[in-house]
Amino acid sequence: MVQASLPVRLLRLGFGIGVLWFAFWVVGPRIVASVPALAHYGAVQDIYGIRSGALYYNDVDATQAAENNSRDSWRFTPQGPEQGG
């Protein structure tokens, strides 16, 4: 197969970069602005230090707090004082 010339290939690369830029920097912010749920979704990630693209539980800091909370709930289950009659 004959490869296209370098200028054509560079043009294709530029087009690809342009498409990505348009999707994430033009269309994306408009979608976020028009969907309140998306804006809230981004805000909670900032609050809890979460990255939604993270792969594994060790990549998400909130998992440590979640695990500690679950384990401590088991070990130190709030019982309170006995309510006698």
Partner 1 sequence: MAENESNVVVDHGQSRLSDLWTKEDYWAIWLGFVILIAGMWLFLANPSPEFAQKVDKANAVMAAEAERAPFKTLAYYKAQDDKGKLKAMDSATGKSIGAFLKAPGGWTSNPLESFVLSKEAAEERNAAAKSKFEAAKAKSDAAFAAAQVAEAAAAEAGFADTALNDAAQGKIAEWRADLAKMKSAEKKVKTKAFNISTSLPMLMVVMGLFFAIGMKFMGHDVPKFLVGFIGVFVVAVIAQMMGHQSTMKYWGIGTEAWAIIIGMLIANTVGTPNFIKPALQVEYYIKTGLVLLGAEVLFDKIIAIGIPGIFVAWVVTPIVLICTFIFGQKILKMPSKTLNMVISADMSVCGTSAAIATAAACRAKKEELTLSIGLSLVFTAIMMIVMPAFIKSVGMPQILGGAWMGGTIDATGAVAAAGAFLGEKALYVAATIKMIQNVLIGVVAFGVAVYWCARVECTSGRSVGWIEIWNRFPKFVLGFLTASIIFSIISGSLGSDMSQIMVNQGVLKGLSSPLRGWFFCLAFTAIGLATNFRELAHYFKGGKPLILYVCGQSFNLVLTLTMAYIMFYIVFPEITAKI
One-letter identity of residue 37: A
Least spacing, CB of residue 4 vs partner 1, in Å: 9
| 10: contact with partner 1 by CB under 8 A | yes
Say whether residue 27 binds partner 1 (CB under 8 A): no
Q: What is the dihedral of CA 56, 23, 25, 12, to 10 degrees?
A: 100
| Residue 62 φ/ψ, nearest 5 degrees | -60, -20
Looking at residue 55, the DSSP 8-state letter turns out to be -
Residues that bind partner 1 (CB under 8 A): 3, 6, 9-10, 12-13, 15-17, 20, 24-25, 28-29, 31-32, 35, 37-38, 40-42, 44-60, 62-81, 83
